[in-house]
Copies of this chain bind each other. A is one copy, B any other.
Amino acid sequence: MNEPRRKRGAERTSNRGPAAIPQLPLRRVTNPYPPMAMLSVDQVETIHQASMHILENFGIEVMSQRALALFEKAGAKVDHATANVRIDRGLVAEALKTTQSSYRLTPRNPANTIHLGGNTINFTLVAGPPNVHDMERGRRAGNLHDYADLTRLAQHFNCIHMLGNQVCAPVELPANTRHMDTYFTNLTLTDKSFHVSAIGRGRALDGIEMMAIARGLTLDEMRDDPGIATIISVNSPRRFDEMMAEGLMTMAEFGQSVAVTPFTLMGAMSPVTLAGALAQQNAEALFGVVLTQLVRPGAPVMYGAFTSNVDMKSGAPAFGTPENTKANIASGQLARRYNLPYRTTPGSASNAADAQGAYETLMALWGAVLGHGNLVYHAAGWQEGGLTASFEKLIIDVEMIQHMMEFLRPIVVDEAELAVEALGAVPTGGHFFGEPHTLERYATAFYQPMLSNWQNYEAWQEAGGLDTTARATRLWKKALEDYVEPVMDIAVREALEAYVARRKEAIGQGEP
């Protein structure tokens, strides 16, 4: 709240460098190609059957009386001694009758509306790291100052469509109220949608209330016109803890988006085999989906997937592996089997914003895109397996996301693009630099990267010989200079401040 306020809209031009960082304009990204079919239709069905077997015979533990009551009322077999819930495929099918195959999330600026479903792809900022890193200041615990800067970067770069939940944990703030400081930062420094913390009812409800204030809506109005989202992580295998169950139910009750996401690390929380991990993921995700519909039929819910593997030598989680990439594609097939929007994730275990960080992330990002992910969570800034939000990695990720966005623009084949006249006009062994066909198009013909350096070696050396990571440092600093805080009505801002103050007072030393 006491963060120095950067340039507002009115001061747009002050202190900005001579040339803005080139970036793609804000646009809705769609994937015009069919999703990759990594599993056959029969294989999808076999995995479905296995997951139904899990739900019907093994059950899921739900550490919430309210959830147990809902399941019991719906006809599930509830063992109150163990909090185990077995549901049959009929109940799953019933729930899937009321889920939505696509829906929108509208933040305070409707230009940043998120479309979840169909062929649309949205990319979010990394969420949840306890640490922050950049090449100048090194590694440090998450804090609100860095939180604000990383949030500004998400606002600055058009390809980041939405924020995750807490780009880093501001650990200097009280754990029971810091969620509101992060929501306030999200709402004032950006005009994009964001994910709330659904650790219990209070944190979710605060996010819903604050987005409603920012949009000038009542909770009832926002129930049918959602603006925020959350990720409900499953305590795999087969457990929803009380806080996450309460968070899920609160979001569903108020009509906000939930992505039910089992964290199925093969070899640790899941079988060591992809088929087994996918069956488990499918069972757990569908179980959460059912719960949203028991709370409120039609509640917006996504199929979340985060299946990767561990290093079997150490047990350490790995990301961006071939197995993770395959899971990202196969999980999309499962999500589509149920007509659910699909949340997926790229990632890397690299401790640095280096080549490994790039190739692991890009492997899994291709999986996310070929699998037709609708929400590509943790897409920018993820480092150290999610334990650190990296400023440089964020820039590298933005560059890779933009590469994918441009890749997804279809090839146009028509008379103008075929350039037959130019092909006849340029002599053999000649060049096209001066052709009218070239001159008319050259300024926008190709994607212009922000980070890639295409100088020859000598020119690059003369300019300092900076590698990609070092250039990324310059870029995030420049982006922070160029950042423009979106205008917010002062009355809205004051209402948000008042809400936070009132709630902090009410919460005191207790739980939200």
Measured CB to CB, the residues of A under 8 A from B are 33-34, 36-39, 43, 46-47, 50, 53-54, 57-58, 60-61, 84, 131, 139, 235, 237-239, 266-276, 278-280, 309-312, 314-318, 321-323, 325-326, 330, 349-360, 362-363, 366, 384, 387-388, 396, 399-400, 403-404, 406-407, 409-414, 416-420, 422-424, 426-433, 435, 437-438, 441-443, 445-447, 449, 451-457, 460-461, 465, 467-469, 472
Contacts and interface: CB of A to CB of B under 8 A. Distances in A.
A-B pairs with lowest CB-CB distance, top 4: A276-B419, A322-B406, A271-B419, A275-B417
Interface centre among A314, A316, A325, A423 (most CB of B within 10 A): A423
A280 B423 contact: yes
Contact of A355 (B317, B357, B429, B433): B357
B452 A349 contact: yes
24 contacts: A47-B413, A58-B423, A237-B430, A238-B429, A239-B428, A267-B433, A268-B433, A275-B412, A276-B417, A279-B420, A316-B456, A321-B446, A322-B409, A322-B447, A323-B446, A349-B453, A351-B453, A351-B455, A353-B355, A355-B469, A356-B452, A360-B452, A363-B403, A388-B457
How many chain copies? 2
A314 B410 CA distance: 26
B271 A349 contact: no
Contacts of A310: 446
Given A46-B413, A445-B309, A403 B39 contact: no
A101 to B, nearest CB: 24
A468 B355 CA distance: 6
Contacts of A430: 237
Contacts of A266: 445-446
A51 B418 CA distance: 10
A139 B352 contact: no
Nearest to A416: B273
A131 to B, nearest CB: 8
Given A274-B411, A351-B465, A438-B271, A447 B58 contact: no
B454 A312 contact: no
Contacts of A411: 38-39, 43, 274-275, 278, 326, 330
A417 B357 contact: no
A44 to B, nearest CB: 9
